[in-house]
Amino acid sequence: MNRRQFLCAFAAAPIAAAADNKPNVILIVGDDLGYADLGAYGGKDIPTPYLDSIARNGVRFTDGYVSCPYCSPTRAGLMTGRYQTHFGHEFNPGPAEQAVENFGLPLTETAMPKRMKDLGYKTGMFGKWHLGYQPDYHPQRRGFDEYYGFLGGAHSYLDADADPANPIFRGTAKVPKVEYTTDQFAAEAAGFIDRNKDNSFFVYLPFNAVHTPLQSLPKYEARFDGKIADPKRKTFAAMLSAMDDGVGLILKTLEKHKLTNKTLLVFHSDNGGPTAANTSKNDPLRGFKAQVYEGGLRVPFMMQWPGKIPKGKTFSNPVIAIDLLPTFVAAAGGTPAADWKLNGVNLLPFVTGKDKAAPHSQLFWRFGQQWAMREGDWKLMSMGGPPTLFNLKADIGESKDLSNAEKGRTETMAAAWENWNKNNIPARWTPQRAGQKKKKKSA
């Protein structure tokens, strides 16, 4: 080694040490899980010990939101840290065979795995993508080193090949057989952690549980024999219990490698429960999936990073899933650039109490004719008609419209929403319904 090489090696040492201190990041997303389905959120009939342990070992958000009450748009917001309506990702695409060809997270946008990869992370995804079917939109073209899952919006839990238009892939190779997707996605994620225990890794584990179809295995159903009479609810319970086991496997894998304290882990649901479809519960919230009532937008939302953020803390200021990208980037030592045009904020200073302010003074939503805005305890929203105003602190169930009693506030908030809406663009596609012909290209 000459003198210059020696100096370079010496100078590089502190940087290498800093890199070693990067936390791993794990993002686990449930599908169509309601606000009241977990024990940590008041659920009584379905034990969810592993999911509840995240709240016990970290922070439970009472007012954790997603940026849309529907599967694909909410994931577009999550993966970019931006309001997805700013880039036209306003709706689901419909089934694979009916989706417009340009459906997917627009290629103008940079996804979370790419941000993490740029910070030196190994990136793996295991589960439901729902952000594009065509090759350019594949998870491995958007920043994931490894991918195992399906590209569509829903899937059989038991049959890998149930829908030829929406197979399960490992990378780009079709997987012929799967025993139970929930078990498989968790096992694949755990295997990725095993292989990358000495690297900084980012795991995205979006389960299809507890989305329909209602399908489980006898070993999970048996846990509720004699306890839940309604057969539909019993299968839902088995599906949720299986997902809880899957989360348990991830937590145990971190323990096995002594990585628990070195890992920032988040769990949330992608939208509120579609109560009629899967028996999920959103109590005490009004409404459900596909609506901008709280029951569609407010979800179970928890975060742990032992030693770095508080244990057993309840955080009641509003947060939103688009905050996770800036949070993960900050945890990884990165700094978002202005041209990332993020709408989310880094939550770490807020959950640690370093910053006592609320992370957001205002939050906004648009989903077709529906729109909503939250400011402090107030929520202004519309299902397509004249807006209604609720005080969520006094009326969490959105039962008493105060828009007439609070005319000035209603007008001010409506004007703020209109101002935000100027940054939205027209939807790049509209949802395709069964029987409609596939469009060649959308506007």
Q: Which residues bind Ca ion (CB under 5 A)?
A: 31-32, 71, 270-271
- The verdict on whether omega for the bond into residue 319 sits within 30 degrees of 0, i.e. cis, is no
C-beta of 84 vs 263, nearer to Ca ion: 84
Minimum Å gap between C-beta 204 and Ca ion is 15
C-beta of 75 vs 262, nearer to Ca ion: 75
User: Which alpha helices (H) appear in 218-339, and where do they start and end?
Assistant: 218-221, 231-256, 275-278, 294-297, 324-331
Is residue 130 part of the annotated active site? The answer reads yes
Is residue 71 part of the annotated active site? The answer reads yes
- Catalytic site residue from 71, 86, 138, 155: 71
Q: How far apart are CA 426 and CA 403, in angstroms?
A: 28
| Residue 88: how many other CB atoms lie within 10 Å | 18
Minimum Å gap between C-beta 415 and Ca ion is 32
Minimum Å gap between C-beta 420 and Ca ion is 24
Q: How far apart are CA 203 and CA 136, in angstroms?
A: 21
C-beta of 270 vs 294, nearer to Ca ion: 270
3-state secondary structure at position 164: coil
Cα-atom radius of gyration of the chain, to the nearest Å?
22
Here the tokens at position 425 are 């663009």
C-beta of 196 vs 271, nearer to Ca ion: 271
Taking CB atoms, the residue at the shortest distance from Ca ion is 71
Minimum Å gap between C-beta 208 and Ca ion is 9
Minimum Å gap between C-beta 83 and Ca ion is 18
Q: How far apart are CA 2 and CA 243, in angstroms?
A: 56
C-beta of 263 vs 269, nearer to Ca ion: 269
Q: How far apart are CA 391 and CA 402, in angstroms?
A: 8
Angle between helices 71-80 and 324-331 (to 10 degrees): 30
Minimum Å gap between C-beta 68 and Ca ion is 10
Where are the strands (E) in 63-193, listed by range? 64-65, 122-128, 146-150, 168-170, 173-174
C-beta of 47 vs 272, nearer to Ca ion: 272
- Catalytic site residue from 86, 89, 130, 155: 130
Q: How far apart are CA 224 and CA 232, in angstroms?
A: 12
Dihedral sign for Cα 216, 217, 223, 227, please. Answer: positive
Catalytic site residues? Answer: 71, 130
